[in-house]
Amino acid sequence: MHKVTFKGDDLTVEAETGANLRDVAQIEGASIPFGCEQGICGTCLITPIEGADNLSDIDDVEKDTLEAMGSDDGQRLACQCAVEGDVIVEGFL
Protein backbone atom coordinates (compact mmCIF):
# COMPACT_ATOMS: atom_id res chain seq x y z
CA MET A 1 0.00 0.00 0.00
CA HIS A 2 1.13 3.52 -0.79
CA LYS A 3 0.45 6.79 0.98
CA VAL A 4 -1.38 9.42 -1.05
CA THR A 5 -1.58 12.87 0.50
CA PHE A 6 -3.99 15.51 -0.77
CA LYS A 7 -2.21 18.59 0.54
CA GLY A 8 -5.07 21.08 0.31
CA ASP A 9 -7.31 18.76 2.31
CA ASP A 10 -4.63 17.76 4.83
CA LEU A 11 -5.70 14.20 4.01
CA THR A 12 -3.43 11.15 3.78
CA VAL A 13 -4.86 7.81 2.69
CA GLU A 14 -3.57 4.45 1.51
CA ALA A 15 -3.88 3.22 -2.07
CA GLU A 16 -2.93 0.01 -3.81
CA THR A 17 -0.41 -0.06 -6.65
CA GLY A 18 -2.22 0.82 -9.87
CA ALA A 19 -5.14 2.58 -8.18
CA ASN A 20 -6.49 5.46 -10.24
CA LEU A 21 -5.86 8.76 -8.45
CA ARG A 22 -9.35 9.97 -9.42
CA ASP A 23 -10.91 6.95 -7.73
CA VAL A 24 -8.81 7.42 -4.61
CA ALA A 25 -9.75 11.11 -4.41
CA GLN A 26 -13.45 10.44 -4.89
CA ILE A 27 -13.63 7.53 -2.44
CA GLU A 28 -11.72 9.40 0.26
CA GLY A 29 -13.51 12.75 -0.20
CA ALA A 30 -10.59 14.85 -1.44
CA SER A 31 -11.66 18.19 -2.90
CA ILE A 32 -10.28 17.66 -6.40
CA PRO A 33 -13.05 18.41 -8.91
CA PHE A 34 -13.75 16.08 -11.82
CA GLY A 35 -15.57 16.71 -15.08
CA CYS A 36 -15.27 14.35 -18.01
CA GLU A 37 -13.00 11.84 -16.21
CA GLN A 38 -11.46 10.98 -19.60
CA GLY A 39 -8.43 13.30 -19.61
CA ILE A 40 -9.99 15.83 -21.96
CA CYS A 41 -11.53 18.64 -19.87
CA GLY A 42 -8.64 19.42 -17.52
CA THR A 43 -10.88 19.94 -14.50
CA CYS A 44 -8.83 17.62 -12.29
CA LEU A 45 -5.50 19.41 -12.77
CA ILE A 46 -3.07 18.64 -9.95
CA THR A 47 0.52 19.42 -9.07
CA PRO A 48 2.57 16.60 -7.58
CA ILE A 49 4.45 18.18 -4.66
CA GLU A 50 6.46 15.06 -3.84
CA GLY A 51 6.66 11.66 -5.50
CA ALA A 52 5.85 12.67 -9.08
CA ASP A 53 7.90 9.65 -10.19
CA ASN A 54 5.41 7.49 -8.28
CA LEU A 55 2.61 8.29 -10.72
CA SER A 56 2.11 6.47 -14.01
CA ASP A 57 3.64 7.90 -17.18
CA ILE A 58 1.80 10.55 -19.15
CA ASP A 59 -0.04 9.12 -22.15
CA ASP A 60 -0.84 10.97 -25.38
CA VAL A 61 -4.35 12.03 -24.33
CA GLU A 62 -3.13 13.57 -21.08
CA LYS A 63 -0.15 15.19 -22.80
CA ASP A 64 -2.37 16.79 -25.46
CA THR A 65 -4.82 18.11 -22.86
CA LEU A 66 -2.07 19.53 -20.65
CA GLU A 67 -0.47 21.26 -23.65
CA ALA A 68 -3.82 22.69 -24.82
CA MET A 69 -4.45 24.05 -21.30
CA GLY A 70 -1.03 25.67 -21.11
CA SER A 71 -0.35 23.84 -17.86
CA ASP A 72 2.89 24.24 -15.96
CA ASP A 73 5.65 21.64 -16.21
CA GLY A 74 4.97 18.72 -13.94
CA GLN A 75 1.22 19.24 -13.63
CA ARG A 76 -0.97 16.20 -14.23
CA LEU A 77 -4.60 15.19 -14.61
CA ALA A 78 -5.71 13.13 -11.62
CA CYS A 79 -8.10 11.08 -13.76
CA GLN A 80 -5.17 9.85 -15.85
CA CYS A 81 -2.75 8.96 -13.03
CA ALA A 82 -2.20 5.55 -11.50
CA VAL A 83 -0.56 5.42 -8.08
CA GLU A 84 2.75 3.53 -8.12
CA GLY A 85 4.23 4.77 -4.83
CA ASP A 86 3.90 7.43 -2.14
CA VAL A 87 2.83 10.82 -3.50
CA ILE A 88 1.74 14.23 -2.28
CA VAL A 89 -0.52 16.19 -4.63
CA GLU A 90 -2.21 19.56 -4.59
CA GLY A 91 -5.38 20.22 -6.55
CA PHE A 92 -6.87 23.43 -7.81
CA LEU A 93 -10.43 24.57 -7.18
**pLDDT tens-digit map of 47-71:** 999 999 999 999 999 999 999 999 9
How far is CA 46 from each of CA 1, 9, 80, rounded to the nearest angstrom? 21, 13, 11
CATH number (domain holding residue 15) = 3.10.20.30
What pLDDT is recorded for position 93? 59
Number of domains observed in the structure of the chain? 1
Burial of residue 17 (CB within 10 Å: 0-12, 13-18, 19+) is exposed
What is the pTM (predicted TM-score) of this model? 0.92
Burial of residue 41 (CB within 10 Å: 0-12, 13-18, 19+) is middle
DSSP-assigned letter for residue 26 = H
Domain extent for 17: 2-91
* Averaged confidence pLDDT in the chain: 94
Q: Residue 7: pLDDT above 70?
A: yes
**pLDDT tens-digit map of 24-34:** 999 999 999 88
